[in-house]
Amino acid sequence: MSLLVARTIYNRLGTIGLMNLPNILTVARIVLVPFLMVVLLTRFEGELVFGVAKEIVGAAIFGVAAFTDWLDGYLARRRSQVTQLGQLMDPLADKLLITAALVSLVQMGMASAWMVAVILGRELAITVLRSVAYVRGVTIPASSLGKVKMGTQVFAILLLILGRQVWLFWVVGQIALWVVLTTALWSAVDYYRRFSHIVTHPNVTDFESARQQAEENRKRAKAG
CA distances from 167 to 34, 65, 162, 172, 173 (A): 26, 24, 8, 9, 10
Total count of domains within the chain: 1
Host domain of residue 128: 2-223
Bridge partners of 52, per DSSP, are 49
| pTM given for the model | 0.75
For position 85, which CATH number holds?
1.20.120
Q: For residue 213, with 0-12 CB atoms within 10 Å meaning exposed, 13-18 middle and 19 or more buried, which class applies?
A: middle
Instruction: Provide the pLDDT for residue 13.
Output: 47
List the chain pLDDT tens, one digit each, 224 residues. Answer: 555 555 565 555 454 445 678 888 888 899 999 999 999 998 876 677 777 888 999 999 999 999 988 887 778 777 777 666 666 778 788 889 999 999 999 999 999 999 999 999 988 888 787 777 777 666 666 667 777 888 899 999 999 999 988 999 999 999 999 999 999 888 888 777 777 766 666 555 554 555 555 556 555 555 55
